Chains A and B, each alone.
Chain A
Amino acid sequence: MHTKTIAQLAKGLQAGDYSSVELTQSYLERIKQHQNLNSFISITEEQALTTAKQADQALAQGNAPLLTGVSIAHKDIFCTQGVKTSCGSKMLDNFIAPYNATVVEKFNAAGVVTLGKLNMDEFAMGSSNETSFYGSVLNPWATDTVPGGSSGGSAAAVAAHLAPGATGTDTGGSIRQPAALCGITGLKPTYGRVSRYGMIAYASSLDQGGPMTQTAEDAALMLQIMAGFDPKDSTSVEREVPDYSSDLNNSLAGLKIGLPKEFFDAALNSEMAATIEAAINEYKKMGAEIIEVSMPNLKLAIPAYYVIAPAECSANLSRMDGVHFGHRCTNPADLNDLYIRSRGEGFGTEVKRRILVGTYALSEGYYDAYYIKAQKIRRLISDDFNKALTEVDVIMGPVTPTPAFGLGEKISDPIEMYLADIYTIAINLAGLPAMSIPAGFIDNKPVGLQIIGNYFAEAKLLNVAHQYQQVTDWHQQTPKGFE
């Protein structure tokens, strides 16, 4: 049962092959069995079984929504009413959210069961899941390597079949990079496609929630529920949500694929380049046309991102001050002491680093040189993509420079860690949708192919990804010990 996709499970549930309670129980057992992966922060067993029972009743009555009774898990960045929502931080270890994020609300309304809350880098800041207050998550493909981050718990859980799908969020690659390193499918939608309400903000102008699944078909099913305008989020876009499943089987003959030459320069190692090339060849076989494009400003993406994201997070995290909720130090001497010790104790090193960087970048006298300049670069990068996307339908390239790296390998070198996101960050700056799909292995470690599309072209991306998954079986591989 646990190796099935969401689409298969939904069918089985609707057909009555098994009940939602049975399905939920089997996942809960697997989660407990594989706790060594550390992919879950909270397991919401009782609630899950209650919802599963309700789902079974709904299914019995007929006319239940498509995904009724299917179970998933949420990244611990989404607020879940009555359940701890820690964001991977000691700061919110005691925070029981009093409300549901819009995304959570939508899954609940669709009859989907929540198994628990998934581990993540603290406040979504990290590319290895090692910054979590709850400890590292292990990559099921090689437990001495990282699952990627920040949605590392989501990726590891789906790869290990502890849940058929999970929510993730992506600010600079946090869905796509762990999806690539764990060999699953991840979709970061267009900025504004999925409501951010109740999704704890890291960098508000870049954050976007999306699905993490085994297949593109499943990603379409989950996105169908997640997407849509939310009056509670001013940055969500009022635009019709298409049927994401209806275009999956469209032919790719004549598809124009752009390959940015900057993605394939000397920095990309040869094994990685070969894997991506092989994937591109599959598309050629399906009738796609390959066009070289150029993004001259791509190299500025990381520096621009590491001004904008920290600047926004420095303000976003100010509310974690020990006054109204979250961690508060014991016996504060005065107000300043309360602030300093609560925040000093509550935040981890990487979070502090980014708050400091952001605070500096916004300071009087530096604002123009850093923040304004970074915004200008952001516009140039968007222009590069927009120009390329007038010539091609999608852009492809690697997701990461290497497969999963070792636990502890980069954690003490932040710059090295930041470079792990070199192929993903620019897409967030431009606000475009992008996917990572499994495209092969290097030394038994999964490698992802990145597909980038035009604004609101999620259906196209899913179609392109799904067609690849019809002719390859990388996405069907299961790590040893998790069959």
Chain B
Amino acid sequence: MQWETVIGLEIHAQLATKTKIFSGASTAYGAEPNTQACAVDLGLPGVLPVLNQEVVRMAVKFGMAIEAEVADYSVFARKNYFYPDLPKGYQISQMDHPIVGIGHMDIDVDGQTKRVGVTRAHLEEDAGKSLHEDFHGLTGVDLNRAGTPLLEIVSEPDMRSAKEAVAYMRKIHELVQYLDICDGNMQEGSFRCDANVSIRPVGQEEYGTRTELKNINSFKFVEKAINIEVERQIDIIEAGGRITQETRLYDADKNETRSMRSKEEANDYRYFPDPDLLPVYISDELRAQVKADLPELAHIKRQRFIEQYKLDLETATQLTSSRQLADYFEALITESGCNAKICSNWVTVELSGALNKQNLDISQSPVTHERLAVLLKRISDNTISGKIAKQVFEIMWTSADSADAIIEAQGLKQITDSGAIEAIIDKIIADNQGQVEQYLSGKDKVFGFFVGQTMKASQGKANPGEVNKILKEKLKR
């Protein structure tokens, strides 16, 4: 039988606020355990939550970016369950009145554009962390993360393959970073997702029983986890079995999913409006403010790059994959005065390559757009060749020196003096009479040999245009 996969994703994006959603404690990652948890985060008797208004602004921004309904009125609710890293015994979340309603996100898969529905996005606080290692049979609790603001983005079951799911996740990942509302750091858990997966015979309208795959923190694992889960479900059904509705955990080491709890064991969370918090009203003023602050979104920027800079789709997509990268590229053009072609080449090839090699983000690049601009200027004013520029770039990567200083210190300035080039060429012609004869007898390829020899003799510094011109003259047939 032919099976169709049905996938819906719940993405948790940690909002990039300085302080927590309901307290003034810092959200910085990586501090000593329990040093960034105040009385409110600890859930001490008598403490009360106070909403960080910044999270509201961020959620509204997201809502507007996915063209969703942003509710006039939204309500925080308590989700009740016991766990040691949940100090209050309930999580403050949203249930009946989420801040962001129905919206959508367009994805591109295999050259096709597809619209994925976003059911809702709501605000909630993160729990702490239970640490089971290092405590000899006991469990440690770190509440630094408790109270960190999260935006949970819930999609419709609109995706039909792991590939589509990954494409959707990437688009959301790109968007939240574009909006500057999430740092997107998946290793630190700032962006993670749960996947609801089911299968059904092709043509059937009714959904199959779904399983929920928990806490997947990389694009690669999302794809793998879904694929392995789909295989598992097909195997069960084809063997005459039935799928149990349950929560499953993806084990990346073994590449398998395993059951965490079934529906019967699931908690009744007993949601009800949190009486400690007032409903959130979104004013027209805030809407207008957020709208005015909304940055140019990736798909619009990409289209503009194609038209304005005459870039191909692939390059434009790569350059707009992050707002910082796109900003870098545009700043480079302005600063260097070079054309878009050369700038896009440098950003997508040399710069991106160097960044990838060290697993760095564009914001961490040791070569700023100002420094790179100087280098590109030296190419366009013929101080150095493109080839030498790559050499200079490598040095710039590890030193703080400017391109000019490096060119000067290493004596990399291009030789444009035709007299000097002529002298080199004359010597090469004299030393390689055999090749001269070959060339004169019609072997055009040998011309390249002379260019190579000249460049080598000049240590790459001879201006290639000049070399070509002089060689052509000297070797006139």
User: Chain A residues in contact with chain B, CB under 8 A?
Assistant: 78-79, 85, 87, 92, 95, 97-99, 101, 196-201, 203-205, 231-235, 311-312, 314-315, 317-321, 323-325, 335, 339, 359, 362-364, 367, 371
Contact = CB atoms under 8 A, between A and B. Distances in A.
Nearest to A231: B50
Interface in B289-314: none
Interface string B261-286: 00000001011100111100000000
Contacts of A95: 45
Contact of B45 (A79, A204, A359, A363): A79
Given A315-B90, A323-B141, A364-B268, A79 B46 contact: yes
A319 B87 contact: yes
A235 B275 contact: yes
Contacts of B141: 323-324
Nearest to A308: B275
10 contacts: A79-B45, A95-B45, A199-B46, A200-B46, A234-B48, A234-B51, A235-B48, A235-B277, A362-B271, A367-B272
Given A235-B277, A364-B268, 10 more contacts: A95-B45, A204-B275, A232-B50, A234-B48, A318-B82, A319-B88, A323-B87, A362-B270, A362-B271, A367-B271
Interface string B377-401: 0000000000000000000000000
B110 to A, nearest CB: 42
A317 B43 CA distance: 11
Nearest to A365: B268
A97 B45 contact: yes
The 4 closest A-B pairs by CB, nearest first: A318-B89, A205-B275, A362-B270, A204-B275
Question: Which of B43, B84, B270 has most chain A Cβ within 10 Å?
Answer: B270
Contacts of A205: 275
Interface of B: 39, 42-51, 78, 80, 82, 84, 87-90, 141, 268, 270-272, 275-278
A448 B271 CA distance: 39
B276 A363 contact: no
A36 to B, nearest CB: 29
A235 B276 contact: yes
B80 A234 contact: no
A367 B270 CA distance: 8
A95 B44 CA distance: 10
Contact of B39 (A98, A362, A364): A98
A392 to B, nearest CB: 29
Contacts of B49: 234
Given A99-B39, A204-B276, A234-B276, A87 B87 contact: no
A348 B277 CA distance: 29
A324 B47 CA distance: 14
Question: Which of B42, B44, B48, B141 has most chain A Cβ within 10 Å?
Answer: B48
Contact of A197 (B48, B80, B275): B48
Contact of B80 (A200, A201, A315): A315
A430 to B, nearest CB: 15
A197 B276 contact: no
A324 B42 contact: yes
B50 A312 contact: no
Contacts of A367: 270-272
A381 to B, nearest CB: 17
A324 B43 CA distance: 9
Contacts of A324: 42-43, 87, 141
A122 B297 CA distance: 56
A314 to B, nearest CB: 8
B82 A97 contact: no
B114 to A, nearest CB: 35
B89 A359 contact: no
Given A79-B45, A232-B50, A318 B80 contact: yes
Contact of A318 (B47, B48, B90): B90
Nearest to A95: B45
Given A79-B45, A200-B46, A363 B78 contact: no
B322 to A, nearest CB: 36
A310 to B, nearest CB: 12
A85 B45 contact: yes
B44 A363 contact: no
A321 B84 CA distance: 9
Contacts of A234: 48-51, 276-278
B125 to A, nearest CB: 14
A138 B65 CA distance: 64
Contacts of A371: 272
